[in-house]
Structure 1
């Protein structure tokens, strides 16, 4: 049986909760386009994001460890895919629009600079007097303006609800109709789910990478409340596993999916029931009242906070991670200063926007879009005297 657009929309409405964002209410697009006969709006958004240049470059952008440190550590792409997977799991259980959640998740780090948060800090410092730099804001800029894949409009022309989901509160977005809608309507529950999935993903999986790298010690990790909870639930056969990393990976899986996700789902469901949430509008009303819908239970939040603090102190501030971060920052500082003096080294597609955006913003866009390895190679090809890798 072949299903057309109307049949697909009707099927979707049968399974979505009343508070979910349906495809009939996608919010429109900045540039009008005919609807596809069998691909619904958020499905099209997802495909556009996956086929974008910015998405492909995520493979060689740092999560915690620079790509040259090893093949099995997570990069910005694997992190993004993991966020999308967890977002879909939670959305499915709560009757939300999985395509919308997945689209937001796949786009949420498109604007991230090379060298992880160290790269963001460097660009923020360099741009502090001319609009600043923040990766969530840059992700929106990528999908609205910087991607060039269509002849009739800049960017990817994503649905308004997808764009609203990419925006985060406090991101310093330029005044626009979209910003006013975000302030009034607030994020969808699908968008809130992606934010929480992002935290779950990097906390659990940065822990695993830290252990695999040897920067974190298992005996220290075993002191965490969340690890003790996992350890108590493990069968003796796994506790005595001869393959330590296999046992660790199983424990991390239990932490991220069995514990974090399950607790979050139960907590969200409890809040939705308590406030009789039955529409996108009722989600907005709670947002305006600053009532947090997506949160862990009070008991589990303490364990989660302890985990995040442990990672901050023992992994993100580890001397080896700091060494990699400083190298990344220095690379970005040198490239930025070089392009200020030698704009001819910037691709013409970027230079063409100098009159509209200014040279500093053009340089920022160019560097933010680089992968770690391209930034390093560019540094060498331009003859800049800094070879730390």
Structure 2
């Protein structure tokens, strides 16, 4: 009887559709439009391979929307606001953090997914999750942890992301981790391509991958799905452009040398000519905006050609191709290589950045050595389950603890432990 229907039941009726005679509303039309625009080679939430720990479907969100929301509500995602890539977080509020970077990646990923008829929600979830395993201090922190962990299974930020979302996030009574769908787990670990090439075995994988019980189910030999490939290219577009923006804003880069670069120089010159009386901040923002647009258009053009040639008729058929379908054109690859060489020479190896990175390595390495030798200084919950100083299990727990730190917390923790007056 209609009088017995609860409010939640009404939501279920709207989303999933009761008897055919019912008049369709806006929710039905939105879902129908999504189904019409999603290509056969896209991942479909209704056809997901499911979660490692079965759970009832949500009445209000599909499986990939639920994954996105779990990522957003995770502690690892919140900590991204205090982690940076080139600049250390306490150097100033001007520069991108991994949180703002992830949001920029998700915006670009949704645009690409919509145009390529992929699943926007899955692309967004993957974009928001792709940096969850990064330690403090960007790639310098990662290199230092990899060095310290070389005898204990190694460290890789991508593998650490899998570890975070399947083990380290403890939020639910039934399981550890976020219990994300197979498609999200697969996309997170393989967004840069297959993890096992010809002749490689599981011995070639970072330990944190094979520690995940279901790692073989993720099919490490194949490419990731369309949405993960989209997230990877969105990441490239976002970080190349925000490095230009942050580099110019910080004074480590100057516009004049950029004018010598292909593509980048053309766009900066064109913007200057169009807006000769505008301040440099406006010129920078407008040029970066145009660069992002050009790169997105290039990905769409090249990916469209590849999809037309390959004609995959399912998400699995797309995975099993011997090449990615989402890619830059050859010309854009050359332009980006020239840009990266310029950024490497003039920004990433600038003496001011080198000083920050030198400090970052010392902070990370000294914290690791102290914790490993004297785990009693760690919080009680981190000590739980440790097997004693210097053991592999203790080293992994120390690594997990440091990898979860923000830049600022790591600096303050180092001060507390290595500067006596810090406690007085």
Alpha carbons of structure 1 residues 383 and 181: separation in structure 2 relative to 1, 3 Å: closer
Alpha carbons of structure 1 residues 235 and 222: separation in structure 2 relative to 1, 3 Å: closer
Moved more, 224-233 or 21-30: 224-233
Residue 255 (str. 1) matches residue 291 (str. 2)? yes
SS at match of 2:210: coil
Partner of 1:4: 15
Match of 1:372 among 407, 412, 422: 407
Partner of 1:275: 310
* C-alpha distance in 2 between matches for 1:235 and 1:331: 42
Residue 304 (str. 1) matches residue 336 (str. 2)? yes
Deviation at 1:4, TM superposition (A): 2.0
Residue 217 (str. 1) matches residue 228 (str. 2)? no
* C-alpha distance in 2 between matches for 1:235 and 1:310: 21
* C-alpha distance in 1 between matches for 2:73 and 2:185: 17
- 8 Å contact kept, 2:347–2:353: yes
- 8 Å contact kept, 2:363–2:410: yes
Residue 88 (str. 1) matches residue 125 (str. 2)? no
* C-alpha distance in 2 between matches for 1:241 and 1:208: 20
* C-alpha distance in 2 between matches for 1:245 and 1:234: 12
Match of 2:353 among 321, 324, 333: 321
Q: Which runs of 5+ in 1 are unaligned?
A: none
Match of 1:117 among 128, 139, 146: 139
- 8 Å contact kept, 2:225–2:316: no
Match of 1:245 among 278, 281, 287: 281
How many positions carry a matched residue from both structures?
382
Partner of 1:32: 54
- 8 Å contact kept, 2:267–2:291: yes
TM-score of the two chains, using structure 1 as the length reference: 0.93
Deviation at 1:14, TM superposition (A): 2.2
TM-score of the two chains, using structure 2 as the length reference: 0.85
Alpha carbons of structure 1 residues 386 and 105: separation in structure 2 relative to 1, 3 Å: farther
Partner of 2:383: 351
Higher-Rg member (1/2): 2
Partner of 1:207: 244
Deviation at 1:108, TM superposition (A): 0.7
Q: Which runs of 5+ in 2 are unaligned?
A: 1-9, 18-27, 196-204
Deviation at 1:345, TM superposition (A): 2.2
Partner of 1:16: 38
* C-alpha distance in 1 between matches for 2:324 and 2:76: 32
* C-alpha distance in 2 between matches for 1:162 and 1:78: 21
